[in-house]
Structures are given as C-alpha cells and as structure tokens.
Chains A and B, each alone.
Chain A
C-alpha cells in the first residue's frame, strides 16, 4: 500500500518535472504528459479521493491547454505544477490535517486559475458596457436599477456553513464529473462560472488582483464580480461592505475610465480589499452580535452592483455551488498556529537561499528608508521602497510556501500602505512600529535560514503580538504623538486622515475625498511606477569563497616576491642586459597592479555598517528620550571584509556612548542655548594608509574633573598631576569605568568603552579622543585598511630581522647616556622628553647573541601595549614594509611575543612581533614590575 503510494508519487514527480520543460505549443509533449497523468489518475486508490480529485483537475488543466483555451499559459502550468507537487507530497507523507489543507488549497488555486484563464470565459466580456456606467464613485449605484434581485442574495446567505463543510467531504466523483460537464458543455459554462464566482472569497479576489495587470480589464472585472458576490452572500458588517464597495468602485474606474495612472487605482483597490479582509478577520475573532442585523439592514444598498441574469443561478444553492471548499470560513485568513509549519519538504533550498539574500537586501534598504523617513516624513520615495520591499517579500515567501513570513509581510504591507496613502505618518510610535516590523522580518528570515540547515522553523516570540498591533496600531496606543517635536507637523496630517471606522459613516464623502487624494498623489505614483519599471541596476557579481580569495591573495603575494627576486638578480640588475631589465620592469609593474587588484577584492564599502549604526543611534536616542540627528559621511569608504564584523561592536558602543552620555537631554540643551536636537556624526575617510572613523557628538564633552575623581576613587591613578587631557580621557577606556550618574539599560555600567578598546586593538587600530567641554566629543578610530596586510617596520636585532607593526610604534630614537638609568641595578629606564619609561632589550628576550648591547649604539623603539609606553632596544631600523601576516603553522603552536610570520622581500620569513605580549613577557622576566612609575 505504502509502496504503491510511493510508486505513484514517483510517477507524479516525473510529470512534475516534465511540466517544467513543457512549451506552450508543444502539443505532442503535452499529450505525453497528459497521458502519463491520466494513467496515474487511474492507478489512484479510491481512498485517496481527495488527491484524485486534484489530479483530475490537473488533467482538466492540461486539456484546457491543449485546446488552447488558456490565456496565461505560464500561470496555469504553474498552478498545475503546484497541485501535482502537493499531491505527490501528500502521497508520501502521512495523511494529516495539514496535508489535507494544502491539498484543498492547491485544488482551489488550480480551480481559480483555470477558470480565470479560460479564453472563452464568459465573464470575459460579460458586459463591459454594463459597468462602464461611469468612472466616478457613483458607478456603484448605477447597476442597481438593472439588478433588482435582492432576495436572491439573502437566500444564498442562508446556506449554512456546516453544510458547506460537510459537502466538502463528498466523494470526488461528483467533483470531477462536474468539471467534465463544464468543459464539454460550452453552453453551461457561463452559469457554471457564475457558480464558481459565487463561492470565491475575498481572499481569492485579492489573490486574483495581485496576479493580474492593470490593463487586464477582464481580470479586473472578475475581481469586482467576485467582490460583488461576496457582498451579497455574506452578511458582513457595514464597515466591511463599505470597503468592498470602495474596492469595486475603484476597480470600475480602472476598467472603464482611462485613468491617468492605472497603478494608483490598482493599489487603491487592493488596499480596500485588504482593509476589508482585515476587518473581516477582526470581526471573526470577536464575533459581534450586531453584525448580522446591520448587515441585513445594509443589504438593499448592496445588491445594486450585481449583474442581473446571472445571480439567480449562482445562488440557488445547488450542489455545484457548495461543492468547493468553504473558503469563506476556513481560509479567509490563514491562521498561524503557535508552531510554524515546517519548511515545505520539497522546498528548493537554493531558491530559498536566494530569497533569504534578496530579502535581507530589501530589509536593509527599507530600514534605511524608514530612518530617512523619520527625518523627512513626506519622503514618498522612501515609503515606496519599504512598501515594495514588503510586497516582494510577501509575494516570494508565499510562492515558496513560507506562510509565516508572507502572512506577516502582508500585515506589515497593509500597515505601510496606510503610510503610503498618507493616512498616517511614519513618525513617533508609527516609526517604532515600522522598524519593529522590519526587525521581525529580519528574524523570520534568520529563522528560515536556520531551518534550511535542519533546525525547526521557529516562530519569533512576539510574532502574534506584532501582527495584532500592526493590524490596528491605534488600539494598542500607538500614535505619532510620542515624538513631541514632530507633533505639530503631524497634527495637520492626522486630522485629515480618517480612521477606517469613520469611513462607514460617510462613505460617499470619503470616496470622493479619496479620489481627490488619489489625484493629488498621482505625481508620486508616477515616480513609483517609473521606479518599478527601471529596476535598480546592480553590478553583476560572483560569489567567491573567502578561502579561495585568501589563497589567491597569498599566491599573488608570492608572485610579487618571486618577481622581485628576479628583478634583484645579479644578471638583471647588473644593467648589462638592457632589454632584459626592461622586460623585468614591465613584469614587475603588472605584478604590482595585480597585487593591488587582489587586495581590492576583499574590500567592501562601509555603507551597510553605517546603516546599522543609524538604527542604533535612533533606538538609543528613543530610549534615552533625546532628539538626535544622525549624520554619516564616507559610506563609500571601503574596508576589509573581515574587519566589518569586528568593527561592529566598538562602533555600537561608541555611538551609544555618544548619544547616552554625550548628548544632553533636550531641555538641558535648550537651557544652554543649544538646539534641542543633538547631532551625532559618523564620518569615515582615508588618512595616511589607514581608515579613520570619526564619531562626533555636539554634547557636553568629557568632564575631566569627573573622570579624574572617578579614577582616583577606583584607584586607577593617584592624582592627575602631569596628565595631559588625552591621558585623562584614555582612562574612560578602563574596564568598569563609567561616569554616568545612573545606570540605564543603554549604558552606564562601564562595560562599553573597554569593549571598544579591546575591539579596536584586535583590529590593530588606535583610538583617540578629542573633547571640548560644552562643545562635544570626537572619537577618532584609526584602523588599518585590511587585517591581511600589516604595515610593519623592519628592525634588525643581531642577525635577525623582525617586523614591528607600525601602528604600535610611537617613535624611535637613539638615547644618550644621560637619559639612561637603572633602578636597583636591575630595571633599566630611559627618559624621553621628561617621560620615564622602562627599557627592554629585545635581544635578551629572544636570546640573540650577536646584537648590540649598548643602547647608545642601538636604537630604542617606543611601543605601546595600550597601558603605557615602553622602549625596546633593537640594533637598527631597516625600513618600512607592508607584509601579509601568516600563521607560523600548527606544528609550532603559539609562540609568545610573536603574532605570526610574513614573507619578506628576499623570500625569507620575517617574524611579526606582538608588542603587547612582548611587554608582558618583559615585565614577567625582568623583575621590574614594581619599579615602573605609576
């Protein structure tokens, strides 16, 4: 039994894959596929009635294709593919409720597509003239005269839902028979189609609308027909009905008129439908006893738009009508249970992977757009970016069967559409909500990514909550009031925008208002449509694993060395072979260019990082109730890919620090004559072969007195005598150091800045602070361009050469005897410009015999381990060199004082010194710890 099912499933899979290569006009192949499918249908067990039913429908679809009744070939084939796939899936998996649901859904979808796509579809031209009554909102009323059959609709209402549900379980034979009859009997088609129309739900209408083009009048007509029937069939609330009528009138306008811009109307229509859907759902969640009554009251108004000849048949309650799944009840809105459905078993992981990458890009863009919108709430383009992003995510995730995401994106989209339509402004609470929605999608996508690697698809914690909030933000206390400063701006807007509830009261008024609204927005919409037409041109790129890239860089590095060895060869450099020299020089040039190029390959712009930072600043400002403008410059500056992640933490902490500690509260700022709004600037630029990140705030600056005081209480220093401002400011990087008077959840615990310092050190960077009391603080982060290349100073110690990272070197000098002193005959010290620092002999640390022993003959390199400066005695400096840092190999383990090796110009290995470790080592081995000045 099970075996047989698997057999069938396999065959289905074949058909499924065949469908992929099916061409529109390839009749022969089509027949083949059809025959295969027919065979399968015959083999199906009777207990798989449901599935057989679906396959039957697929067969019908293929027939329809064969008979060229299909308008949109691709759409139909896709639906068939989907249906077959679902069936296959159902066959091999255990029969549970979920499968059943998806089968039903597939059936319904296929059914819809099939009948929507028949070229000889009656509704095709049902009566274009009839509805052409007028493009203005008035049209809704016009058909009234021609459709007086009000009782009919009431009758259809009375079909009990239970019955519909039970009918669903009927044996499939009925079902397929009825299809046959439809297909074979062209005359019956018209009425039957009506029957079909009559059972479609609002959800279907929305789905249909999404699938069609604005120019597809027939499709639009169908949607409006569906909605009309729904209005008649269901006794929805006035409110909902109103929304639906709005949708119809908009659709009519689209169908009949020659709108300046169809897209805007199209969007309007879908928005109406969506609103109606949401209302229905909220009503279903909290059933209102009044609903029935009011709906019935409303009826006379509603039936108006029904085309007369069809209605009676549709609603007589014959079996055909009710055979289909009762979508109206079960699936109006997909219900998300507490556990997400697993990834579809047949999920194409590469497709999903693409979706993840793509979505992340969208999310990133929308986040940026939302932030931009906050400063400029009228920025239509930003709204559109966000809207489009969510729309795309919704569409793609639905296609991939990721119901959770599509559902959420849908909600968010409706919310954003309110912003887009000017109903609400993306400020204050709404802005927060918008960003939360973006975060949620981020999380959902992360979860999907995890699910791809086998983990269960988890549902983010506040998923449901956020959905409800998105649905009706106002009821959850979200308004645009939370941002006082933008309040005035907003208030004018809010008064004009009306909540959905108000609509019911003055539908006509509202409609006309909306129409004018539409007109006024048409400019903006033109932009949008242009945007959607001209897709952003992205540079085409290839993903390469970093491992390979590193290998390439290594190899190129080797090439450079090999080349320079050739160039320095005696025969070449003797200058006797002029031609040869020329050729070698030429090769050198190419090799150097190649090296530059490979280095560039690792570089990525800082833009995404900056975007993240913008978000951080915004959130912190919101939390600490400050008004902060975030200005960033130099987003195009590029930095090594490996560094981007490492840079994140320090930047976040510093920006937090700037906002929370630097910028004063708005009231304080005002009182000292500053703008209420603080400014935090993040600036990146190149300077002397490194990247400088500048974080600047216009807050109160560092308080030297307070820092000193705190440092003394913490025992870090005894007094601030002889300490420069810079020295004092550096104290804030001590672990646990915080001058904040109270601890907030943002900062003040003192864990921030030492993280910064560690992070920056790890990046081989350096940090500087400039601060002016009352004017603000600037942090300067000086980072190397890449971690792969170390800018080093080649030093000689005896016969050995070492590389000291230039970033660790403050200076080098040759001491005079007077400046040297020892303490207790042991600890050597050297005086440099009135600063006493310990002197360590590198040759002694490394046991090198033939080095210069006399400091006055050698050279002292002043290095810094982050705490204080020390002088290292070396023989001489050999020059500066950029080297590619490499590990010494696992066979040797970690060597203290050496961070790695690098291939020098002569092909030999030079060791890169780790100054921090060397100083630690020196302190341990020389007994001078206690002797250091402190």
Chain B
C-alpha cells in the first residue's frame, strides 16, 4: 500500500486539482455501485452501512435531489438521490435500489443508488485522473478513474458531493421560492 501510495503521488498529478489529489492516497478499498450503466466507487471507510430502500419522507422546500428523510434506527437522516444530483434521469426504484449511508465531513447522509456491486481493492497505479471534458461534462465529483477487472470505476469524491450542497441548496431554494411566488401570482 505504501508503495502504491508513493507511486500515486508521482503518477497522479492532474493539472486542474493537482494539489488536492496529490495529497490523497487514492489506492484502497472501494465499494462500487451502479448508476444507470456507470459503475462508481466509494471509499469504503466513508460508508456506514447499506440499507434497502425504505419509505422516504419528502421534505418540502429542499432541492429536488434531496429525496427526503428516513428513520435510521431512531436517527433522522436525509437521503439524496444521486441520479438527480448528477443530473441524470430519475428512474423508478427496483428491488436492487439501495441506500448507502455515508459519513463524511461530519455529515451523515443516505445516497440512493441503482444497485451496489462489490468491494474492490484498487491499486493506486490503476487509478487515472478524470479526463477533462470541458463544460459539457462536470467531473468535479470525480476523484479519479479506477481500472479493475477490465472495467472502469468512477471514484466518487463523496466529501464534495455532500458539502457542495449548501450552495446549491440555497440557490435552489431561492429559485423554488421565486417559482412559488410566480406560481401564486399566476394561479390566484
């Protein structure tokens, strides 16, 4: 692992967010899950547990990707639909839909994913920087791209996913507000 880490330091040195990634040791165990056809990887240490889909209480006046809140053994935790967060289409939940409870940045949150796949050990040398696609594709939530078993896993920067919320929250809430008053105006 330490050797891996060293290699990583030298190999992964992307231009945009080089600082951040150089410091991080990307190699390690990842929980992989699917959103549509894409397979994502989530640092295993950030995962608290995986629970089956359950009744989610919607919370009004929150961003669309905030699905609502659930009761996790007496604790109320918010749940986010990762598809919506990433701007993908919403799909009906299936038997395989699960909530991964993650804990990062002092925030505990559930993320809804299509299905979980496995826990993988991904070497640092098999992790590449996320390529830049320009403005079309936003890669800000991607730490890097891991290659394992001939597949590509998108390694998720969950810290960012969770913490970027506040800004969006406020924006969306405001937009919603505006929409609402517009709506009021128009209907009444």
- Least CB distance from A892 to B in Å reads 4
Proximity bits, B78-120, A CB within 8 Å = 1, else 0: 1010000000000000000000000000111100000000000
Residues of A within 8 A of B77 (CB): 889, 891
Q: Report the bound CA distance from A927 to B188 in whole Å.
A: 10
Residues of A within 8 A of B71 (CB): 903, 907-909
- Least CB distance from A424 to B in Å reads 60
Q: Given A888-B69, A925-B177, A893–B60 Cβ distance below 8 Å?
A: no
Proximity bits, A874-911, B CB within 8 Å = 1, else 0: 00000000000011111111011110111100011111
Q: Report the bound CA distance from A667 to B67 in whole Å.
A: 69
Q: Are A892 and B69 in contact (CB under 8 A)?
A: yes
Does B165 count as interface, using CB distance less than 8 angstroms? Answer: yes
Residues of B within 8 A of A825 (CB): 188
Q: Report the bound CA distance from A897 to B62 in whole Å.
A: 11
Partner of A926, one of B70, B109, B184: B184
Q: Are B76 and A887 in contact (CB under 8 A)?
A: yes
Proximity bits, B28-64, A CB within 8 Å = 1, else 0: 0000000000000000000000000001011111100
Partner of A886, one of B62, B70, B76: B76
Residues of B within 8 A of A631 (CB): none
- Least CB distance from B56 to A in Å reads 8
Residue of A nearest to B63 (CB): A892
Q: Given A892-B59, A893-B165, A908-B71, A927–B76 Cβ distance below 8 Å?
A: no
Does A846 count as interface, using CB distance less than 8 angstroms? Answer: yes
Q: Report the bound CA distance from A927 to B70 in whole Å.
A: 34
Q: Are B57 and A910 in contact (CB under 8 A)?
A: yes
Does B5 count as interface, using CB distance less than 8 angstroms? Answer: no
Q: Report the bound CA distance from A924 to B109 in whole Å.
A: 31
Residues of A within 8 A of B166 (CB): 893
Residue of A nearest to B176 (CB): A847
Q: Are B106 and A890 in contact (CB under 8 A)?
A: yes
Q: Report the bound CA distance from A911 to B77 in whole Å.
A: 12
Residue of A nearest to B66 (CB): A892
Q: Are B59 and A898 in contact (CB under 8 A)?
A: yes
Q: Are B76 and A903 in contact (CB under 8 A)?
A: yes
Residues of A within 8 A of B75 (CB): 554, 886, 889
Partner of A927, one of B78, B109, B185: B185
Q: Are B78 and A888 in contact (CB under 8 A)?
A: yes
- Least CB distance from B183 to A in Å reads 8
Partner of B59, one of A826, A902, A911: A911
Q: Are B69 and A901 in contact (CB under 8 A)?
A: yes
Residues of A within 8 A of B74 (CB): 554-555, 557-558, 561, 903
Q: Report the bound CA distance from A419 to B172 in whole Å.
A: 71
We find that the number of chain A residues with CB closer than 8 angstroms to chain B is 39
Q: Given A555-B74, A889-B69, A889-B78, A927–B184 Cβ distance below 8 Å?
A: yes
Does A845 count as interface, using CB distance less than 8 angstroms? Answer: yes
Q: Report the bound CA distance from A808 to B108 in whole Å.
A: 31
Partner of B184, one of A800, A891, A911, A925: A925
Q: Report the bound CA distance from A886 to B59 in whole Å.
A: 14
- Least CB distance from A902 to B in Å reads 8
Does A848 count as interface, using CB distance less than 8 angstroms? Answer: yes
Residues of B within 8 A of A714 (CB): none
Instruction: Tell me the chain B residues, 121-170 only, with Cβ under 8 Å from chain A.
Output: 162, 165-166, 169
Q: Report the bound CA distance from A847 to B60 in whole Å.
A: 7
User: At the interface, is chain B mostly helix, strand, loop or mixed?
Assistant: mixed
Does B173 count as interface, using CB distance less than 8 angstroms? Answer: yes
Q: Report the bound CA distance from A558 to B76 in whole Å.
A: 12
Residues of B within 8 A of A901 (CB): 57, 69, 76
Q: Report the bound CA distance from A825 to B71 in whole Å.
A: 42
Does B73 count as interface, using CB distance less than 8 angstroms? Answer: yes
Residues of A within 8 A of B58 (CB): 800
Does A24 count as interface, using CB distance less than 8 angstroms? Answer: no
Does A772 count as interface, using CB distance less than 8 angstroms? Answer: no
Does A450 count as interface, using CB distance less than 8 angstroms? Answer: no
Residues of B within 8 A of A903 (CB): 71, 74, 76
Does A844 count as interface, using CB distance less than 8 angstroms? Answer: yes
- Least CB distance from A162 to B in Å reads 69
Residue of A nearest to B163 (CB): A891
Does B181 count as interface, using CB distance less than 8 angstroms? Answer: yes
Residues of A within 8 A of B175 (CB): none
Residues of B within 8 A of A890 (CB): 106-108
Listed residue (B57, B76, B185) with the most chain A CB atoms within 10 angstroms of its CB: B76
Q: Report the bound CA distance from A891 to B76 in whole Å.
A: 11
Q: Report the bound CA distance from A555 to B73 in whole Å.
A: 8
Residue of B nearest to A827 (CB): B188
Q: Are B165 and A844 in contact (CB under 8 A)?
A: no
Q: Report the bound CA distance from A846 to B62 in whole Å.
A: 10
Residues of B within 8 A of A907 (CB): 55, 71
Q: Are A925 and B61 in contact (CB under 8 A)?
A: no
Q: Are A844 and B184 in contact (CB under 8 A)?
A: yes
- Least CB distance from B80 to A in Å reads 8
Q: Are A848 and B60 in contact (CB under 8 A)?
A: yes
- Least CB distance from B87 to A in Å reads 19
Q: Are B184 and A895 in contact (CB under 8 A)?
A: no
Listed residue (A558, A561, A844, A892) with the most chain B CB atoms within 10 angstroms of its CB: A892
Instruction: Tell me the chain A residues, 120-137 only, with Cβ under 8 Å from chain B.
Output: none
Listed residue (B55, B78, B107, B166) with the most chain A CB atoms within 10 angstroms of its CB: B78
Does B180 count as interface, using CB distance less than 8 angstroms? Answer: yes
- Least CB distance from A476 to B in Å reads 57
Residues of B within 8 A of A561 (CB): 74
Instruction: Tell me the chain A residues, 846-875 only, with Cβ under 8 Å from chain B.
Output: 846-848
- Least CB distance from B82 to A in Å reads 13
Listed residue (A825, A887, A888, A910) with the most chain B CB atoms within 10 angstroms of its CB: A888
- Least CB distance from A874 to B in Å reads 13
Q: Report the bound CA distance from A845 to B176 in whole Å.
A: 10
Proximity bits, A532-561, B CB within 8 Å = 1, else 0: 000000000000000000000011011001
Q: Are A909 and B76 in contact (CB under 8 A)?
A: yes
Q: Are A909 and B57 in contact (CB under 8 A)?
A: yes
Q: Are A845 and B169 in contact (CB under 8 A)?
A: no
- Least CB distance from A896 to B in Å reads 6
Q: Are B61 and A892 in contact (CB under 8 A)?
A: no
Instruction: Tell me the chain A residues, 902-934 only, with Cβ under 8 Å from chain B.
Output: 902-903, 907-911, 924-927
Q: Are A893 and B169 in contact (CB under 8 A)?
A: yes
Q: Report the bound CA distance from A428 to B107 in whole Å.
A: 59
Q: Are A892 and B78 in contact (CB under 8 A)?
A: yes
Partner of B61, one of A554, A558, A887, A897: A897
Q: Are B78 and A891 in contact (CB under 8 A)?
A: yes
Q: Report the bound CA distance from A691 to B181 in whole Å.
A: 41
Q: Are B60 and A897 in contact (CB under 8 A)?
A: yes
Residues of B within 8 A of A891 (CB): 77-78, 80, 107-109, 162, 165
Residues of B within 8 A of A900 (CB): 76
- Least CB distance from A660 to B in Å reads 44
Residues of B within 8 A of A896 (CB): 61, 173
Residues of B within 8 A of A925 (CB): 177, 180-181, 184
Residues of B within 8 A of A844 (CB): 180, 183-184
Residues of B within 8 A of A895 (CB): 59-62
Q: Are A892 and B62 in contact (CB under 8 A)?
A: yes
Q: Are A888 and B60 in contact (CB under 8 A)?
A: no
Q: Are A908 and B57 in contact (CB under 8 A)?
A: yes
- Least CB distance from A432 to B in Å reads 51
Q: Report the bound CA distance from A586 to B96 in whole Å.
A: 38
Listed residue (B61, B66, B162, B181) with the most chain A CB atoms within 10 angstroms of its CB: B61
Residues of A within 8 A of B180 (CB): 844-845, 847, 925
Q: Pick 6 A–B contacts, CB within 8 A, sort by A.
A: A554-B75, A847-B180, A887-B76, A889-B69, A891-B165, A901-B76
Q: Which residues of A contact B (CB under 8 A)?
A: 554-555, 557-558, 561, 800, 822, 825-826, 844-848, 886-893, 895-898, 900-903, 907-911, 924-927
6 closest residue pairs by CB, A with B: A846-B60, A558-B74, A891-B109, A892-B78, A901-B76, A909-B57
- Beyond A891-B107, A897-B61, A909-B68, 10 additional contacts (C-beta under 8 Å) are A886-B75, A889-B69, A889-B77, A889-B107, A889-B108, A891-B162, A893-B165, A893-B166, A911-B59, A926-B181
